[in-house]
Amino acid sequence: MASAARTVLVTGASRGLGLEFVKQLAARGDRVIAACRNPGAVPELKAMGAGVRAAALDVSDPLSIKSFVADLGGEGVDVLINNAGLMGEDNRVGAMKLEEMRRIFDVNTFGPALMTQAVLPNLIKGQRKLVVNITSTLGSISAGMPGMSYAYCASKAALNKISAKLAWDLKSMGIIVVSMCPGWNKTDMGGGSAPLEPKDSIGRILTMMDTFGLADSGTFRREDGAVVPF
């Protein structure tokens, strides 16, 4: 059963899994702050009604983060879902390019870290106090697989470490931090051959999120509930 209505901030909310998070959160009655680079270009967000507030945010730009948080003011945030992410094309030795790798780390690793830091006062004011970092099993050093983007895999491995460290540092404040892998989904990033449907994966993640407590902080979970080795 869904919990009482909460204020949930979702980054990367313009498409794919981020947009699916917004849809399902709004449908169950939560107040959603849907953050993405160009919210005016996402008609689905406009059509969701008063429960969804679209906001401009580029998680790779510190000035954008600062402006976004200034607009939040002292509003409490119950849940932060750091969902924004990029995939790379550097899936073999010889294809790695510094500029692309930096861009992917800016979004996939540094973005969630800086967003969590910036939104911390709002999370402290919230009731739920939960941070969910959307990661990937490809970021598991022990459970990864070959043939995928070097930058993407490495950025997610680094994000997992940041999640674990945030969990240690924020536990005394009652803030829960969890890494969640949504699995391989049929999205622009995942492609049409992916085995999972976003509506099913996100539904399972939201159900799990409602059960997380401080004992779960610092863990790395898959959308089916399995614990993933770091």
Told to judge if 150 belongs to the known catalytic residues of this protein, a careful annotator would answer no
User: Which residue from 168, 173, 73 is spatially nearest to 129, judged by alpha carbons?
Assistant: 173
**CA distance linking residue 107 with residue 60, whole number of Å:** 5
Residues whose CB falls within 8 Å of the CB of residue 91, separated by 6 or more in sequence, listed in order: 147, 148, 149, 150
User: Choosing from 23, 129, 150, 152, which is the catalytic residue?
Assistant: 152
Contact 123, 175 (CB under 8 A): yes
**CA distance linking residue 74 with residue 177, whole number of Å:** 21
Chain centre to alpha carbon of residue 221? 13
**CA distance linking residue 63 with residue 42, whole number of Å:** 22
Q: Report the Cα–Cα distance between both ends of the chain, in Å, rounded.
A: 30
**CA distance linking residue 24 with residue 166, whole number of Å:** 27
Question: Quick one: CA dihedral 124, 72, 108, 87, positive or negative?
Answer: positive
**CA distance linking residue 49 with residue 25, whole number of Å:** 12
Contact 85, 189 (CB under 8 A): yes
User: Choosing from 156, 171, 186, 199, which is the catalytic residue?
Assistant: 156
Q: Which residues are catalytic?
A: 152, 156
